[in-house]
């Protein structure tokens, strides 16, 4: 299965600032996804990162808050904009493959 490198692994940010999370895959993949996992909770899909076009956002998530880039088939970024303490979560990149979905190790974000 694909190997995913996600950076940074953790960060502490001031409210009102933005953080960009990077996801690098060691092979070309069609489908890349971004998830949020709030403390003690399950994974919630934020959006599907589409190569060459705008991301597809799930209900409750908007592009202005979570802009996503997907310049090629091995890389994507998620930006958490104008952060507030409620954005403190683990953000996970995932790729879809025939054998199942593989996840990165996540970015643990704390907003103070």
Query: By C-alpha distance, which of 3, 8, 57, 58 is closest to 29?
Result: 3
101 binds other proteins (CB under 8 A): yes
Q: In angstroms, what is the minimal distance from the CB of 81 to other proteins?
A: 23
3-class state of residue 63 by DSSP: coil
80 versus 104: smaller Cβ distance to other proteins: 104
Q: Which of residues 35-74 bind other proteins (CB under 8 A)?
A: 41-45, 48, 59
H or E element: which one contains 4? strand 4-7
7 versus 108: smaller Cβ distance to other proteins: 108
Output the CA torsion 112→56→24→95 (10° steps).
Answer: 110
Which residues lie near other proteins (CB under 8 A)? 1, 4, 6, 29-31, 33, 41-45, 48, 59, 92, 94-106, 108
């Amino acid at each position: 299965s694909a190997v995913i490198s996600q950076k940074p692994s953790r960060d502490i940010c001031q409210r009102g600032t933005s953080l960009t999370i990077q996801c690098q895959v060691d092979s070309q993949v069609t489908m890349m996804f971004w998830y949020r996992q709030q403390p003690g909770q399950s994974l919630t899909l934020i959006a599907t990162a589409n190569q060459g076009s705008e991301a597809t956002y799930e209900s409750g998530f908007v592009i202005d808050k979570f802009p996503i880039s997907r310049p090629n088939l091995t890389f994507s970024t998620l930006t958490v904009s104008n952060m507030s303490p409620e954005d403190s979560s683990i953000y996970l990149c995932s790729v879809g493959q025939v054998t199942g979905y593989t996840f990165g190790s996540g970015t643990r974000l704390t907003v103070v």
